[in-house]
Amino acid sequence: MLKHLTLALTVGFSLNAANEESQAPAYGFGGPEVLKLDWGTRSMNVRDFNGDGLNDIAVVNNDLSKVEILYQLAAEDSDVAQETKKQVSDDRWEPDFEDARYRRESVSVGFPIFDMVVGDLNSDGLADLVYTAREMPVTVRYQSEDGQWNDSDEFDGFEPVGWTDSMVVADLDGDEREDLLLIAADALRVFRQNAAGQLEQPELFYITGENPYNMMVHDVTGDGLVDVLYVTSSGKQSLALRVQLPDGGFGPERRFIFERPVRRISVLPQTDPEAALEFVSIDSRTGILQFFEIQVLDSEARLSDFGKVQPEIYPIVKKGRLPTRYVQTDLNGDGEQDLVASNP
């Protein structure tokens, strides 16, 4: 049987085009709640940090080199805690009041941050902070029961990318412990959380292409295991898929090439858990939205099918001057030829 994946485009439309005769149900929004942030803010994360059942917000404030945590207040507490604040600026727009139901606290960092994610990375039931920076590739700040952030772990030995969407926190193997995935210019790094609630040294899965970004973790193939997707460039932009293997590793890259550059890709909410995932991308040049699926197809091996098959890309990283050597042999006795590559 020949098994391959294909990218199926379903529909596209422009962000600037409005269909006045649309039959979609009407919806609306209430008035805004305003909370002033500095202009160097990035990496917004939503999570219940203090266990009160209300979602809080954590953002990076690179103007002040710190992380700001905005604790949501219950409705009965908001009137007492909030004060109206006037803002005046001649050269840029700023809100002239601040009335959102949040209490602001900060976590000092001391240098600019590239990206930040939130997760329980020591299995104590509390949300922790993970951020990347030039000064230290990865820092994990653990929250204590009294809401302090004094304990930390650091991981180095590589250079992180300087933009957001380079990290994801997810339970990869279904052990109810959250793991950390990070993509850099050379490799996908997987920091697994062990039974003691500690992050282990990363497993490396090398990548191809340049400027990886927009990393996502979803079960694309429907086998119950989450897979990794990211966008890289090698001439043209591609959506790369790494399927998770039953033993917990990740397979080779499968690349889906875009004819036009994309700004961002997201997964649409699913109403049917059995249906294939639907993706939406934004065209960088026109703002057009394109909706597509990655379909898993099975068919008998025919010559006409080979044009549809994505090649399996196994990145080989050369670390020395000597050439890489390849040997083909049956390593596990299953009757299939395997490939061994030496890396001097």
Fill in the amino acid letter for 12.
G
Question: What is the overall mean pLDDT for the chain?
Answer: 85
In a domain, 276, yes or no: yes
Domain that holds residue 210: 2-19+111-342
- Which alpha helices (H) appear in 298-338, and where do they start and end? none
pLDDT in tens, 108-153: 999 999 999 999 999 999 999 999 999 999 999 999 999 999 999 9
pLDDT in tens, 239-266: 999 999 998 899 999 999 998 899 999 9
Distance CA 257, CA 263 (A): 14
Answer whether residue 298 shows pLDDT above 50.
yes
In a domain, 305, yes or no: yes
Structure tokens at 5: 């994946």
Strands 250-257 and 262-267: unpaired
In a domain, 79, yes or no: no
In a domain, 127, yes or no: yes
- Which alpha helices (H) appear in the chain, and where do they start and end? 75-81
Q: Over pLDDT 90: what percentage of the chain?
A: 61
Distance CA 23, CA 3 (A): 39
Kindly report the CATH number assigned to the domain that includes residue 243.
2.130.10
CB atoms within 10 A of CB 144: 11
Structure tokens at 122: 């020591």
Quick one: pLDDT band at residue 306, thresholds 50, 70, 90? low
Fill in the amino acid letter for 233.
S
Distance CA 64, CA 44 (A): 16
In a domain, 57, yes or no: no
In a domain, 297, yes or no: yes
In a domain, 54, yes or no: no
What does the pLDDT read at residue 308? 56
In a domain, 61, yes or no: no
Number of separate domains in the chain: 1
Q: Is the pTM of this model over 0.85?
A: no
Quick one: pLDDT band at residue 87, thresholds 50, 70, 90? very low
More confident residue, 303 or 32: 32
